[in-house]
Structure 1
Amino acid sequence: MSAVSPAAAQAGYSAINVTTYETEFSSLLYGIYATLAFAAMWIVVRRGVTNGRALMLSILAIMFSASTVSFVLGCITNVWQAQMIFFPEVATPQFIHRFYLVDTAGLVFVRLNYILSDLIVVWRAWVIWGRSPRVLALVSFFMLGTIGEYSNMEFIASEATDAGLTLSQLFNDNTSSNNLGPIKGGERAMILVLPTLATNLVSMFLITLKAWYHRKVIKTDFGEGNVSSRAMVVLTWVVESAVIYCVLWILYIFAFFELFTDVGLNIFDGCMVQFSGIYPTAIIVLVALNRSECDRYSSVIDESLKFASVPIDSGMTHPDTTTAESAHGL
């Protein structure tokens, strides 16, 4: 058995400490996501499977499956990393190659989850705007940028290689705790995250604009009555959740510029895939819980939108109804 230098041993313990925190937070978020995912899929099935709902159900199932696979593969690579740290003799070329393959596979499923999450967000914004062709063209432009970046397999492979190279550093005397974990340069983080952040910011702006417009119409016809507060509930939830999700992505970018410690960065790195699944799935559940209340006022609000003095695009539908439809994949 080959000996490990004191510096490498200390770095190894630090690495295990970092991955332990990452696994704990990822496990907590995965449990929350699993609960929401099964609830959302049950809601979609319970409402009857149409073509749109079948597509939404498929996306939800694929997202949860991708998240599950990435979570399991992440746990496997953490165990293998610990083996190579404390038992250097297992770090054969074949073992390291297998580590690279598993790590790369995990990254592929993570990227798939990001793309599907953005797809649901874009779909929701498009439906809320009455399936407007101009809105579809705008959000599709940003969505294609996200797909193009995340489907860059050479970039994904380089990420896995960089993560693997940090393992070999653990067996050098010059290893320090600052070299640990999947820490990449800020420039790489910007390239990776900006497309999905831009997609979500544009979608959030469109939904916020629709919420503002809807509130303006309701205030014009009904003043500050109870109907307005009821009608705005769903759109308010969608906007607020979008703001929180975008803030998480911004913090994730800043984390690569040493905003947090190594532990914080690794936790963010391991948890963002769960956040990307929780965000659109939670909206589906929240909309379903509130839909019965909103439907009580749908006929009144439809009339207000139809006869409002402010010009309305004939292709648009009632915001509360379309918000619920977008969440359920109608």
Structure 2
Amino acid sequence: MSGLSPAGASFVSLFTSALLHGIYTVLFFIALSFFWRGKGFLSLPLKILTIIPYLISTVHLSLSFWETFHAFAIHHNADKVFNHQKGWIFVAHLGMELVSCIIVDFILIWRAWVLWAYNWRSVVLPCALLFGSTVTGVVGVWQQSRAHIEGVVRGSGWALAFAILVMLTNVVSTGLIAGRIWWYIRDMRKRQHRNAKHSSLTILLVLIESGALYLGALIVFAILAVLGNPGVIIVVDVIARITGIAPTLIVVLVALRLDMESRKNDQLRHGSAEMSGFTEQNYFPSIVSMANNPSSSVLPHVTKESEDISTTQESDGQITSVEYIRPYPTRSYVSSR
């Protein structure tokens, strides 16, 4: 890819971005379907943070289409256009990518804070890194808007600092999320005297919910930026899409899990025992536990601060209810109702 011109890289970037935006659109409308159901699974701020990145991604792609059309169809000199990007479209691209990165980092930090029982000490480091990346990102956008395309490809000191801080933020946040979920799954398996092996589906769900996809794209970006490879132009636009896909995918998986548990709750309510509303803070691994026991029809529920698990079985041995009581304070953050 080292022989790829900026014009060629921008054209490939447009195709890749359009493909990823199609995937993003499907995920976004799935998320909207949960919002429209009005069951209060997700809070208003989380809904807003799901909608804004999609709008940013759509505007970003529209500007990319216009820029490419202008370079190839109107100017008839794409190399000259893409080698002297200093206009408002270029600055808007960089600004929207910065905002998208800040939003997805905030969502990942919020997710880690929730999983670590609302302990602010657990997210002090990623919050400090997010503040640093925001400052360096703003300065980096200003510098890149004044640079020749070679400077964009190779990156300024501020842009490189921004990339490093964003990557560190995601390493810490992803580690906090994945580690907590992994520990919880292992703990639950031990309590239920089940094999501690994790299925490939469990691993995949942990990676998705921890934002590892976004982290992987940032690592590729950092490598190409250091090497001064024009492929960084493609990766930057890919990241612009992934910054929306990653948190939306997390929201969809969490909402899907809560919707399934709500349906089970309705079924159990008409059965032998009435079980009150299920919310994610009562069962924070969200969708991951479904991979471990997809045929289970039980509904975990918190009633007090303890660490016991009790089950009720019928004569045929089928578990009809399960109560897992976790040693963390319950606190409503999912539903705004």
TM over 0.5: yes
Structure 2 unmatched runs, 5+? 262-289, 291-295, 310-324
Q: CA deviation at 1:304?
A: 11
CA distance in 2, matches of 1:208, 1:158: 35
Q: 2:145 aligns with which of 156, 160, 167?
A: 160
CA distance in 2, matches of 1:329, 1:124: 17
| 1:83-94 equivalent positions in 2, closer than 5 A | 83-84=74-75, 86=77
Aligned length: 281
| 1:200-279 equivalent positions in 2, closer than 5 A | 200-224=170-194, 237-240=205-208, 242-258=211-227, 261-262=229-230, 264-279=231-246
**1:223 aligned counterpart, secondary structure:** coil
Q: Which residue of 2 aligns with 1:284?
A: 251
Q: CA deviation at 1:237?
A: 1.2
Q: 1:329 to 1:62 in 2, by over 3 A?
A: farther
Q: What does the per-residue CA deviation read over 1:26-77, in whole Å, with 9 as the maximum and x for residues that have no partner?
A: 1101111122112112213324348x62111111111111111122222223
1:46 counterpart = 2:37: yes
Q: Which residue of 1 aligns with 2:116?
A: 129
Question: Is the contact between residue 154 and residue 227 of structure 2 (CA under 8 Å) also seen in structure 1?
Answer: no
CA distance in 2, matches of 1:257, 1:133: 34
Q: What amino acid sits opposite 1:58 in the alignment?
A: I
- Measured on the aligned residues, the alpha-carbon RMSD in Å equals 3.9
Q: Which residue of 1 aligns with 2:89?
A: 102
Q: 1:186 to 1:105 in 2, by over 3 A?
A: closer
CA distance in 1, matches of 2:35, 2:306: 28
Q: CA deviation at 1:233?
A: 7.0
Q: CA deviation at 1:273?
A: 0.5
Q: Which residue of 2 aligns with 1:65?
A: 55
Question: Taking structure 2 as the reference length, what is the TM-score of the superposition?
Answer: 0.69
Q: Which residue of 2 aligns with 1:143?
A: 130
Q: 1:29 aligns with which of 2, 11, 20?
A: 20
Q: What amino acid sits opposite 2:308 in the alignment?
A: F
Q: CA deviation at 1:78?
A: 2.8
| 1:173-212 equivalent positions in 2, closer than 5 A | 182-185=152-155, 187-212=157-182
Q: What amino acid sits opposite 1:79 in the alignment?
A: F
Question: Taking structure 1 as the reference length, what is the TM-score of the superposition?
Answer: 0.70
**1:299 aligned counterpart, secondary structure:** coil
Deviates more, 1:116-125 or 1:188-197: 188-197
CA distance in 2, matches of 1:53, 1:46: 13
Q: CA deviation at 1:186?
A: 7.4
Q: What does the per-residue CA deviation read over 1:9-39, in whole Å, with 9 as the maximum and x for residues that have no partner?
A: xxxx944332221110011011111221121
Q: 1:87 to 1:107 in 2, by over 3 A?
A: closer
CA distance in 1, matches of 2:251, 2:303: 22
Question: Higher relative CO (CA 8 A, sep ≥ 6), structure 1 or 2?
Answer: 1
Question: Is the contact between residue 140 and residue 156 of structure 2 (CA under 8 Å) also seen in structure 1?
Answer: no
The sequence identity of aligned pairs, in percent, is 21
Question: Is the contact between residue 7 and residue 78 of structure 2 (CA under 8 Å) also seen in structure 1?
Answer: no
Q: CA deviation at 1:225?
A: 5.9
Q: CA deviation at 1:147?
A: 2.5
CA distance in 1, matches of 2:113, 2:329: 10
Q: 1:329 to 1:286 in 2, by over 3 A?
A: farther
Q: CA deviation at 1:297?
A: 3.6
Q: What does the per-residue CA deviation read over 1:212-231, in whole Å, with 9 as the maximum and x for residues that have no partner?
A: 331342233211169x979x
Question: Is the contact between residue 112 and residue 176 of structure 2 (CA under 8 Å) also seen in structure 1?
Answer: yes
Quick check: which one's helix share is greater?
Answer: 1
